[in-house]
Structure 1
């Protein structure tokens, strides 16, 4: 009888991690894997700061799905630095982001 109880406890403990792992993925915000990369799409943003010398723009942006980023305000390098001269702080824009050399980068921007 003692062996049956011990076996039942061992089996219950062995099944617990698998059940926990299966249930723990519910409702999680999963980022796309490298194999399932989404195509870049324009994201609504507001220009907070332009740094021509560094070639960066600080944007308050909506979620960037193809990079798995939530909405936030941060500085990004701009692929085409010269394009920054056509924009002003405070403007609302559509920005397109992608990974360039492993960094989230603005690869396109146009006024709304």
Structure 2
């Protein structure tokens, strides 16, 4: 029984690093470039990249994301590096 509990704990901990790295960041869309598949976002600090807040261009992981937002929208987003480029992998409008 004790081994089963320890196994369950270890399996549960295995997923923590990826969860800990996932971080939704506050931002504001300043430009949407559908033809290039990019968003310009004024954002707060992105801890997982040790990046201060700034305005920068991100690739959109999915073209459908570009239709969900417009300049001036307040958002929460998750960024990651995909093929060496900063990419928005999740986006939602702030409430």
Give TM-score, length-normalised by structure 1.
0.64
Distance 1:89 1:76 in 2: 14
Runs of 4+ with deviation above 4 angstroms: none
Match of 2:22 in 1: 40
The structure with the largest alpha-carbon Rg is 1
Listed as ranges, the gaps of 5+ residues in structure 1 are: 1-35
1 CA distance for matches of 2:93 and 2:64? Answer: 16
User: 1:81: Cα distance to partner?
Assistant: 1.4
Q: Indicate the RMSD between aligned Cα atoms, in angstroms.
A: 1.5
**Number of aligned residues:** 77
- Tell which has more relative contact order, 1 or 2 (C-alpha 8 A, sep 6+): 2
What is aligned with 1:93? 75
Q: If the length of structure 2 is used for normalisation, what is the TM-score?
A: 0.75
